[in-house]
Structure 1
Amino acid sequence: MNWWQAFPAIAVAALLMFLPGLVLARALGAKGFACAAMSPLASCGLIGLAGVVGGLFRLGWGLFSYLLVTAVCTGLAFLLRRFLNGRVSAVAPASVAPAVQWAGILGGMVAGSALIFNRLLPAIGKPGNFGQVYDNIFHLNAIRYILETGNASSLTLGRMLSPDAGIAIYPSVWHSLAALVAQLTNNDVFVSENAVVVAVSALLWPFACIMLVRGIVGPRVLPLVVAGALSGGFWMFPFQLLQWGPLYPNTLAYSLLPLALLVLVGLFQAGRERFLDNVSLWCFLAIAVAALFMSQPNGVTALLAFSVPLIAAAWFSQLRARIRVKAGNRSIALVVLWGVASAAAFLVVWQALLLNFDSWQPSRTLEQAVGDVATGTLLGGGDTMVASVAALVGIITIIWRRRGGWIIACALIAAALYVVAVVMYQGRFRHFTIGSWYQDPYRLAALVPLFMIVLASVGADGLVSAVRGWLRRIAAKRSAGRRPGLPEFRGSGTLYAVAAAAILALALSTLVDSVHSPGLTAVSTKIKDSYSFVPGWAVSSDEFALMSRLDSTVPKDAVIGVNPFNGGPLAYAISGRHVTQYHISPGPDDDLRKIAMDLTTSQAGAETCQLAKKEHVRYILDFGRFYILNFVEAQAYPAFDNVLATPGAKVELVDHQGAAKLYKVNAC
């Protein structure tokens, strides 16, 4: 299969991310750009909710359950708006013609999406390739699990690893979306996963950045095109997270984050124009939190962190206003009280989202870390100087205008989180500050580009305003001098906007791709390696070929013994045949440890044979002793590795491909 043949799957993934949410957003009163902007948030919230509802009421995951929940939520939203009819203040239309606004949005989309498509598709290679990295074993198996069980609930997806758990929370929106693509397009889990990877990275992420900038600076062509072009110019996001991990749920959450921030911009009136009423904004805030939490909870933590400057500014503004007008002690006390209550609520939620994971060591000095943020050389990678210079102009613009200081504050928060991750040693402060992100510098570095993009777009807006003012002054002087023969430009503003957007999209995407090329090329090479059968990754081409035949060589009711450290768990994603472990973690329980220790040499009636019979373990995938992670725990499966090297092993060779072998256990 080539990418043209995979295009329908990518299109389906995009439609599933936009259309149902578009209907709900319209029912909640959103119009125009706001309706489009809120649609991915609403869609992902609906996917997560449909999965949970389906799990509770045993409604199998599929298009029907997704559309059913969409219809119910849309109906409730419509009733809410009818009930509030006349009580909600109307939102004025955009200050420019819709065509001008959409010219900027589409120009930005073309610039950003083209950059990402151009790098990402060749890096992945073929649509059926897959990231042979630690986390993807789980992601692929989770997609298969949803397809097999029909259960896409974030409350129970973790049961794939811990079947006896009552509640086993794992954010499922990514996997649910990929499973839905597989159902609707009849593709395997690999093509379906890549369709979602491409749709999220090359479509949702640029779109979200552009919409956030639109909410902040208004419907201006240049800032929107700049936002789109730069969204495809950072190697750290989305590219690096597609190789490191790969952190697919994080990629989805971070791609939704700009839209969640757009809701906060509306609530705190931090943008140039009002684009949604308060009732709609509060509804979308609830949807945003749900969508982020069920995509990846540290998306909620990021939203909390970036909300601090907006909340603090609103609180300080109210307090200062009450003091200035001498509103009285009670009124001032109420403002102080809501500030204290907000801080307390923030700390409670922040603490609840912390994770006990603390294995990362410092990797940069303070000077290096600060330089990383300033130049884009995060974690020592290639620089992003176009974005850095434009962001500096944005900072100057904000200081000059004395408006938008919260954007600088958010950029500093992202920078500070990264600095803590790469500079500080383990401890309470580090855990409290970045514990929600597993203290992982890669996840935190991926937050830095967002506000670099926003600052750069504000800088572009500042440049346009400065040039416009300069031209007006020149025109005024010439008009005063009554000089004849000056050219006058008449015609359609829409036509000019479209032409400008097209020219800017081409110029900026070319500039960004050229200047940022070293970092983008390096990360593309990493992705290409991890999405191939180059030795050193999860499975070899021989092992993959052998697993592809398991649906014809292993009965459906049999379980295959695998060592999770050598890629064996992927047998489930590839063939649907069950395995003893679906991921490297959590480790084996006591029963599995006994089975993995001496299954091939046990005698009928022995405890190991009884346990194997109970768990239906009748086959073994022997992939030798090359491990993804060379941990001590990888040695806990002697019955599943180099089987014939064990004296007295009672097995029958069923199939093999190169050094990869499938055995049937005869010992019991």
Structure 2
Amino acid sequence: MVSAAILCWRLTSIFRSPEYVSQTADNVFHLNAVRFIIETGNGSSLALGAAGGSSPSLYPGGWHDFVALVVQTTGTSIPVAVSAANLVIGVVLWPLSVVFAARVLFGHARIVDLSAAVLACCFSAFPYLLVDWGVLYPNYYGMAVLPALVGLGALVARLPQFRLELSGSIASAFAVSCLGLMIVHPNTVLTAGVVIVPLWVARLAGRISARSPLSRLSPRRRLVSVVALVAVLILSVVVWIELRPFPLNRFDITWPPYETPAQALGEFFLTTHSGWPAGYATSVFFIVGLFLAAKRRGWRWLVVSSTIWAVLLVSVAGYPSSYLRGFLDGGWYTDFKRIAAGAAVMALFVGVAAFKTLHSFVKIQLRRRGSLKPRALTSLVSILGILVLLVVACVAQTTNIPQAAAHAETNYSLGPGSPIMSADELALYKTINSIVPSGAMIAGNPWDGSAWAYFVSGRQVLFPHVLTPWTPDRSVVAKMLNQASDNPLVCSAVRRLNLRYALTSDELIYLPGNPGTLQFPGMAGLELAKGFQLVASVGENRLYKITACW
């Protein structure tokens, strides 16, 4: 409950108001995709790419479907539904998912539950980073439930211990969960794989090894284990190669490094990123946990998984673009912030292992002294564990977390200076559905906020995303719409598109200097151009009816 309260406090402070939206580039698509699902009734991930202005194409729609369902069942606005859904994801699903995974990995013990719940709110890279950067809502949703998939994966590793019918149910649940996470975001399956595959390999190798207690297997069962090990390795390579958003030879379009490899490795062990303050409390238990896991046969897979995460984070944050970097990190768009979130989840698991081991060690040492009765001993050790966890939470909430939360908070606004959509623009967009008839198209520069006229009003916009694919007609409109009264090419394109209105804004444009913002000269000067009738305005934002072509 304390962890949930802290997460709720931090996330509500980040979101600031239920009506506020994240004024970031990716959110232009996310909010319009929710409206697309509501308007079309089609939430299929096979078609959701159409929400960005392309033909129906693959885009993971799990988060968008969730928010659309909230809108449809409650009648609330899309921004409020987004805030509510994201609170449920961060405050409810995330800590419950973490506790479930910790129980499966490290056993049913009170200290396991408590340490997992507390650590869930102590890392800046998750959940706070993914509601800041991007904004990466699908990744945020996927990462929140990813530990539950890891827990199911750990149960799969123990299948021979279960009855046949239970084994089948667990395997089916794991397979269906993988498919579900693919719909939320494919790279969360990769993230889970970095944790699960070393565990599976360790368990299968242990069954095959002659030195293992499990080696007393029949030749047939040992052969099955060998085949399973080979299948896991082959499948892992195939999934690693296939679950990437672009071909390996396109590594040059990804994010550049931002620090040296040594700095990246230091941030990995200090459980931080982006040059932000170190997570001192969590890093102590992460480092101690790695040391303890290396000494314990059944936990060495934690060291292997952590090493993989270190390689991924150092390569993406500290090395320039290359085929190797693209191969390693391409599944995460070679984006160090997505990988930092995965590394934080790994550090959380290792931290729980450290808490459990140290708790058991203290209990054993006190029992050997024999000065306390069993009940008093249990109470004392529990109190000590709770005090340590409170210290960890307090240190985290006063060192690395405040900057992460404060940075994320700057993206959520709805005021005069909001980067994409201001309060005036929102007020204008709310009038559009009473002015623009259904089926009519609206033109506008998506970088000045006009793309969000769709999610607010439900009326179609020609450029629903800052990365809307170009077509010949869209190109003509973007470059020459203000010449409609003199250039017949413009009106031909306008009629083919059923383009009847245009939005303009004299407010500051989003990301000024970005080359994409300069691709819409045809939207400028409509107040002086012939053939455009002003039909509504709020502040410096105007809606024109295109009369030159109709």
1:196 aligns with 2:79: no
**Post-superposition offset of 1:326:** 11
Equivalent AA in structure 2 for residue 121 of structure 1 = T
1:460 Cα deviation from its structure 2 partner: 1.3
Counterpart in 2 of 1:636? Answer: 519
Report the counterpart of residue 555 of structure 1 in structure 2. Answer: 437
The separation in 2 between residues aligned to 1:283 and 1:464, in whole angstroms, is: 35
Counterparts of 2:235 and 2:369, CA distance in 1: 54
Deviation at 1:256, TM superposition (A): 1.5
* CA-to-aligned-CA distance 1:271-296 (integer Å, 9 cap, x gap): 9999x932122111111211110000
The answer on 1:655 being equivalent to 2:536 is yes
Matching residue within 299, 305, 312 for 1:404: 299
Matches within 5 A, 1:342-353: 342-353=232-243
Of 492, 498, 513, 1:610 maps to: 492
Q: What letter is aligned with 1:563?
A: N
Matches within 5 A, 1:529-568: 529-533=410-414, 535=417, 537-568=419-450
Equivalent residue for 1:40? Answer: none
How much does 1:489 deviate?
A: 4.2
Matched residue, 1:148: 39
TM-score (norm 1): 0.75
Partner of residue 595 from structure 1, selected from 477, 493, 498:
477
Name the counterpart of 1:279. Answer: 168
Percent of aligned pairs with the same residue? 28
Are residues 1:259 and 2:148 paired? yes
Residue in 2 aligned with 1:232?
Answer: 121
- Structure 1 residue identity aligned to 2:107: G
Shift of 1:147: 0.8
Closer, same or farther: CA 640–291 of 1 in aligned 2, 3 Å: same
| Shift in CA distance, 582/509, structure 1 to aligned 2, threshold 3 Å | farther
Q: Is the 8 A contact 1:112 1:509 kept in 2?
A: no
What residue is the counterpart of 2:502 in the other structure?
620
Residue identity opposite 1:132 in structure 2: Q
Does residue 113 of structure 1 match 2:8? no
Which position in structure 1 is the counterpart of 2:339?
Answer: 444
- Is the alpha carbon distance of 1:489 and 1:440 closer, same or farther for their aligned partners in structure 2, counting shifts above 3 Å? closer
Letter paired with 2:521: P
CA displacement 1:319-374 (0-9 Å, x = unmatched): 32399989999998776555444333222222111222633111111210111011
Partners of 2:373 and 2:194 lie apart in 1 by: 51
- Within 5 Å, which residues of 2 pair with 1:84-103? none
**Which deviations, in whole Å up to 9, do the C-alpha atoms of 1:540-579 show, x marking residues without a partner?**
2222221122222322232110111222110011111110
Match of 1:572 in 2: 454
Alignment of 1:181-330 (within 5 A): 181-269=70-158, 277-321=166-210
Aligned to 2:369: 474
Deviation at residue 443 of structure 1 after TM alignment:
0.5
Q: Which stretch shows the higher mean deviation, 284-293 or 388-397?
A: 388-397
Superposed displacement of residue 386, structure 1: 1.1
Residue in structure 2 matching 1:508, options 379, 389, 398: 389
Output the aligned Cα RMSD.
3.1
Q: Is the 8 A contact 2:54 2:469 kept in 1?
A: no
Moved more, 156-165 or 370-379: 156-165
SS at match of 2:468: coil
* Distance 1:254-1:579 versus aligned 2 partners, 3 A rule: same
1:459 aligns with one of 346, 354, 357 = 354
Contact 1:253/1:292, CA 8 A, preserved across alignment: yes
After TM superposition, give the deviation of residue 666 of structure 1 in Å: 1.7
User: Is the CA contact (8 Å cut-off) linking 2:312 and 2:328 kept in structure 1?
Assistant: yes
Question: Higher mean Cα deviation, 620-629 or 429-438?
Answer: 620-629
CA distance 1:117–1:182, change in 2 (3 Å)? same
- C-alpha contact 2:269 2:286 (8 A) present in aligned 1: no
Q: Which moved more, 1:546-555 or 1:156-165?
A: 156-165
Question: Is 2:404 the counterpart of 1:523?
Answer: yes
What stretches of structure 1 of length at least 5 have no aligned partner?
Answer: 1-109, 479-485
Counterpart Cα distance in 1 of 2:333 and 2:110:
39
1:547 maps to a residue whose letter is: Y
Return the letter of the residue paired with 1:526. H
TM-score normalized by structure 2?
0.90
Equivalence for 2:23: 132
> 1:178 matched to which residue of 2?
67
Q: Deviations over 1:462-521 (max 9, x none)?
A: 12211221222222xx6xxxxxxx767489x9xx79x959x9668735642444423322
Do the aligned partners of residues 451 and 147 (structure 1) sit closer, same or farther apart at CA in structure 2, a change above 3 Å counting? same
Taking a change above 3 Å as real, the CA distance of residues 515 and 177 of structure 1, as seen in their structure-2 partners, is: closer
CA separation of 1:221/1:270 partners in 2, compared to 1, >3 Å: closer, same or farther? farther
Amino acid at match of 1:123: I
Query: Residue 159 and residue 506 in structure 1: after superposition, are their counterparts in 2 closer, same or farther (change >3 A)?
Result: farther
1:389 and 2:310 are equivalent in the alignment: no
Q: What one-letter code is carried by the residue in structure 2 that aligns with 1:584?
A: V
State how far apart, in whole Å, the 2-side matches of 1:521 and 1:474 are.
42
Greater Cα offset, 352-361 or 226-235? 352-361
CA contact (8 A) 1:154 1:171 kept: yes
Q: Give yes or no for the alignment of 1:169 onto 2:92.
A: no
Q: Paired residues, what number? A: 541
Q: Which runs of 5+ in 2 are unaligned?
A: none
How far off is 1:651 after superposition? 1.1
Which segment is superposed worse, 338-347 or 198-207?
338-347
Residue 482 of structure 2 contacts residue 524 of structure 2 at CA under 8 Å; is this kept in 1?
no
Q: Quickly say closer, same or farther: Cα 1:381–1:591, change in 2 above 3 A.
A: same
